[in-house]
Amino acid sequence: MKTLIPLLLLAALAVPAAPAAAYDRSELAEYNDLYKEGHYEEALEGYKKVEAQEPSSPEGYYNAGNALFRLNRPGPAVASYAKAFILDPRSSDIRTNLDFALRQTGQKLAPEGAPMALHYLYYLLSETEIQMMIALLFWLACLAGAARFLLDGSGPGLAAGRAAALSALLLLASVAWLGVRQSSPFNSAGVVVKAGGARMLSGPGENFKTYASAPEGRLVKILDEADDNYYEIGLPREGIKGWALKGEIEQLTFQKGK
């Protein structure tokens, strides 16, 4: 198993993700050719353009993660793979590469002892997809409920009532699923991208004492981002928190309309 994971990673690294319809296929093909030829820095610049063109699509982040991994930048690679995973948690390539990159920094995608099937189901849909499903089920429940009211006493009315009840049940389950997902390590999170790690201060400023550090590539919780220059971050595994420069932490959010 220990040799299988690197082999899977290298196989996935060798083949960049397929172009998405929103991109200029010729440009993306050019970036992929640069990657295949070993020009990782130039390919990375191109993939960053893809991210800017379509920040809600995982392809740019995934390919950027591959290039960053090849450039031996584990922190930014983890951040890129994590963003791709948030957008498309069902992709086996994204999941494999993210897990491998996390393991290089002493972490794991799935919690210790968690069944892989259960972990996969937990991330079966992205949060955006769950939110869309909630909206759809809400309107289905409303329409079915209205039909039950209008067709009261008839056969179709009874069928509409059952549909309304089922939609409402699924709606509640979806809301609960979304609520549980708030505890995901990728929610309100960031990744340490500074080479060598980020200093954790006792307050937001250089006048405060450095008492810990967060290693490069570590997933951290962002607890407070109100300060102009510093995030308050938490390391759940160690049970500590502190302040780190924003430039040393990449937040796992997406810039819409860039």
Residue-wise pLDDT tens digits, 236-256: 989 999 999 999 999 998 764
168 with 218, same domain? no
114 with 12, same domain? yes
CA distance 175 to 76: 32
Q: What is the mean pLDDT of residues 67-88?
A: 97
Q: Which pTM was predicted?
A: 0.86
Q: Which residue has the higher pLDDT, 93 or 11?
A: 93
15 with 53, same domain? yes
Decide: 148 and 164 in contact? Cβ < 8 Å: yes
Q: Is residue 258 part of a domain?
A: no
- From 83, 104, 120, the end of a domain falls on 120
| Domain span at 232 | 189-251
Say which residues have a Cβ less than 8 Å from residue 237's Cβ, sequence separation at least 6. Answer: none
Q: Is residue 256 part of a domain?
A: no
78 with 30, same domain? yes
Q: What is the mean pLDDT of residues 61-73?
A: 96
Helix pair angle (92-104, 4-14), 10° resolution: 120
8 with 109, same domain? yes
Q: What is the mean pLDDT of residues 183-205?
A: 96
CATH number at residue 77: 1.25.40.10
10 with 116, same domain? yes
Assign residue 72 a region: left if phi > 0, alpha if psi is -120 to 50, beta otherwise?
left
Decide: 218 and 105 in contact? Cβ < 8 Å: yes
Closest CA to 245 of 207, 188, 187, 201: 201
Tell me the two tokens of residue 145: 């409920």
- From 143, 159, 181, the end of a domain falls on 181
133 with 88, same domain? no
- Residue pointed to by tokens 């893809």: 50
- From 97, 120, 143, the end of a domain falls on 120
99 with 23, same domain? yes
107 with 53, same domain? yes
Q: Is residue 101 part of a domain?
A: yes
205 with 238, same domain? yes
Decide: 42 and 12 in contact? Cβ < 8 Å: no
Residue-wise pLDDT tens digits, 3-60: 444 444 544 554 455 444 455 667 778 999 999 999 999 999 999 999 998 898 899 9
- Residues 111-139, buried b or exposed e (16+ Cβ, 10 A)? eeeeeeeeeeebbebbbeebeebbeebee
39 with 140, same domain? no
Q: What would the 3-class secondary structure string for 220-237 be?
A: EEEEECCCCCEEEEEECC
Tell me the two tokens of residue 192: 């340490």
* Residue-level pLDDT at 257: 41
112 with 137, same domain? no
Closest CA to 125 of 85, 170, 98: 85
